[in-house]
Amino acid sequence: MANSAGSRKRARQSEKRRQHNASLRSMVRTYIKKVFTAIASGDKAAANEALKVAQPLMDSSVNKGIFEKNKVARSKSRMNTRIKAMA
């Protein structure tokens, strides 16, 4: 347990940040799942639209430190490849 005032404040801040980061991470994962469900349904137009919505959110989550840069790049690449293969 935090004893000094500074460490109590740091504990409050880190908990608040943890919850905010978890919220952002969950939101981005939801949009990624929407892309995969559109791909699974076989609707290429819907998959493209879902990807257009998800990409900027994924990129901004990298800038905020929510996801690793390479993980997001790999995910976007795989989604693009699957959408292109639908043709």
Q: Give the type of residue at 80.
A: N
Question: What pTM did the predictor assign?
Answer: 0.86
pLDDT of the residue at 2: 83
Q: What is the pLDDT along the chain (87 residues), one digit of tens a residue?
A: 789 999 999 999 999 999 999 999 999 999 999 999 999 999 999 999 999 999 999 999 999 999 999 999 999 999 999 999 997
The CATH homologous superfamily of the domain defined by 5-85: Ribosomal protein S20 (1.20.58.110)
pLDDT of the residue at 30: 98
Q: Are 80 and 41 in contact (CB under 8 A)?
A: no
- Of 23, 49, 55, nearest in space to 37 by CA: 49
